[in-house]
Structure 1
Amino acid sequence: MNARATRAPAAQLAYVLHHYDWSESSLILDLFTREQGRLAVVAKGAKRPYSQLRAVLLPFQRIQVSLSKPSKGDGGPEVQTLRGAEWASTHAMPAGAALFSGYYLNELLLKLLARQDPHPQLFDAYAQTLPLLHASEDAQSQAALRAFELRLLNDSGLLPDLSVVTPTQLPLELERSYVLTAESGVVPPSHAGAHFKGAELIQLQAALLHGSVEALQQACMGALPALKTALRGLLHYHLGHKPLRTRGVMLDVQKLLA
């Protein structure tokens, strides 16, 4: 492999998914970048009161970062050093239920994406989803969440082809009902549950292949209740013993408010 292929880009778009204390003055960031996927990055001096990075390294804000070449230590994962960061765009921070939804997206990325595995289409979907998260949890927000879950599962290789019956690979019938399960994929229903019309699943698959975030969100809008149940089952299955903390916290808050 030549040196040019392994060199980190001089500057790249990124979002801060999470941060950890590294020392009294520094942080380790988990960044989601468009060119390199998830990265572990040391932000030296970022906790100091006069650091210019403090106002930039915020969640849900698109930034442009410059990184050092990666280095390995003690056989652990490659860690790069943050050389600089600046705003690439600014959006109002999510509030209320939208804030939980934003952290939910971040947690999904942290738990389902491997490091150093680029997913530029998923990065673009994340950027387009954040502004659509509303505190009212309206249909647009729900469609945006379901579309992102579908894109994440698809790009991670965890989603079956939605246009065929998984065991036989035969095309779906437009008016027939089907279910989507983690164990069997797309199959005719054998019990009560979240059913989809064949036409709905075919439309979702077409939108995934097209790559348009807006088209996928529109396709989700027509099947929101069934999608929420089916995708929750798929995510729970593939997360295994890594339960989502944000979902648990959100449910606890809802109980308190009730």
Structure 2
Amino acid sequence: MAPPKRIADEPAFVLHRYDWSESSLILEVMTRHHGRQALVAKGAKKPTSNFRPVLLPLQPLRLGYSLSPDAQAEIHTLKAADWVGGHIMPTGDALLSGYYLNELLMRLLARDDPHPGLFDAYAAVVRVLASEHGDALQPVLRAFELVLLRELGLLPALDQQTATLTPLSPKRLYVLVPEGGLREAQAQERGGLPGAWWLALQRALDEPAPLAATLRASADGTAELKHQLRALLHYHCGSRTLRTRQLMIDLQNL
């Protein structure tokens, strides 16, 4: 039997972790070149394990792992993990926001489906979350949601009405709805944004560095966009309320 293939020095982030035994963990990780992977970290819960202080969410890592010799197996074996460094763990609202992004990626990313550009955008957002982000938190979350939906083919074109393929009028108001895509806002309907704004957003998403461009383009419509993107994401996630979103609501109600 041929030895298992080894993946070395792979950029990654831990999205979630589960207990596997008294001493080991199953990790769900997002890697740059191989997409979402499930890895068993044997002995990671032992006090003497080198993995124990490293396998944390929202921290840039370099991983080495062996692919299972069974082609049908979904869980591979972690062999090495190193912290890349560069920033501290986010705290407070930023930490909850990071967990929210991780839940989105867990629900929407398929296994073994690499998205290097999305990985880079996520890494950039994590750096913002770990910084003195000030008022940038909500805009950067909306920008990432847009990039995520676009990367996975879940966002309709924003330069035309989805049902009719009619070009947008710069001065008319439009809304993004889960089952209908982008359409003209009805009379008295809240949340409509001008066609010129949607057109600018489409141009930003087409840029080589879409996260930064989308952040600039969406800054003036963050509040209106938040509810529309939330409905669209919940539609594709198959859940009306994400666990992290419910946790945020519960904390605000304390």
Q: TM-score, normalised by structure 2?
A: 0.92
1:131 CA displacement? 2.3
Tell me what 1:36 maps to: 34
1:177 aligns with 2:173: yes
Tell me what 2:85 maps to: 89
Secondary structure of the corresponding residue to residue 10 of structure 1: strand
- Partners of 1:26 and 1:45 within 8 A in 2: yes
Instruction: State how far apart, in whole Å, the 2-side matches of 1:120 and 1:153 are.
Output: 15
Secondary structure of the corresponding residue to residue 51 of structure 1: coil
Structure 1 residues 8 and 171 mapped into 2: Cα distance closer, same or farther (>3 Å)?
farther
Tell me what 1:131 maps to: 127
Structure 1 residues 136 and 255 mapped into 2: Cα distance closer, same or farther (>3 Å)?
farther
Gaps of 5+ in 1: none
Structure 1 residues 135 and 99 mapped into 2: Cα distance closer, same or farther (>3 Å)?
farther
After superposition, residues 236-255 of structure 1 pair within 5 angstroms as 236-241=234-239, 243-255=241-253
1:120 aligns with 2:125: no
1:201 aligns with 2:229: no
1:169 is matched by which residue type in structure 2? Answer: L
- Partners of 2:107 and 2:237 within 8 A in 1: yes
Instruction: State how far apart, in whole Å, the 1-side matches of 2:89 and 2:229 are.
Output: 26
Instruction: State how far apart, in whole Å, the 1-side matches of 2:194 and 2:205 are.
Output: 17
Secondary structure of the corresponding residue to residue 186 of structure 1: strand
Tell me what 2:159 maps to: 163
1:227 aligns with 2:216: no
Instruction: State how far apart, in whole Å, the 1-side matches of 2:84 and 2:37 are.
Output: 18
* Residues 203-240 of structure 1: per-residue CA shift (max 9 Å, x gap): 11111111422111111102111110110110121122
1:19 is matched by which residue type in structure 2? Answer: R
Instruction: State how far apart, in whole Å, the 2-side matches of 1:122 and 1:199 are.
Output: 26
- Partners of 1:15 and 1:62 within 8 A in 2: yes
* Residues 115-168 of structure 1: per-residue CA shift (max 9 Å, x gap): 111111111111001122379985311110001111111111111001111112
Secondary structure of the corresponding residue to residue 37 of structure 2: strand
> How many residues in Structure 1 have an aligned counterpart in Structure 2?
250
Q: CA RMSD in A?
A: 2.1
Structure 1 residues 210 and 91 mapped into 2: Cα distance closer, same or farther (>3 Å)?
same
Tell me what 2:11 maps to: 13
After superposition, residues 45-124 of structure 1 pair within 5 angstroms as 45-72=43-70, 77-124=73-120
* Residues 78-116 of structure 1: per-residue CA shift (max 9 Å, x gap): 211111011223311111111110100000000111111
1:187 aligns with 2:183: yes
Q: TM-score, normalised by structure 1?
A: 0.90
- Partners of 1:107 and 1:246 within 8 A in 2: yes
Bigger mean CA deviation after superposition, 239-248 or 45-54: 239-248
Structure 1 residues 235 and 34 mapped into 2: Cα distance closer, same or farther (>3 Å)?
same
Structure 1 residues 55 and 134 mapped into 2: Cα distance closer, same or farther (>3 Å)?
closer
Gaps of 5+ in 2: none
Instruction: State how far apart, in whole Å, the 2-side matches of 1:106 and 1:228 are.
Output: 18
- Partners of 2:89 and 2:130 within 8 A in 1: no
1:217 is matched by which residue type in structure 2? Answer: L
Instruction: State how far apart, in whole Å, the 2-side matches of 1:35 and 1:242 are.
Output: 31
2:127 is matched by which residue type in structure 1? Answer: P
2:232 is matched by which residue type in structure 1? Answer: L
- Partners of 1:71 and 1:78 within 8 A in 2: no
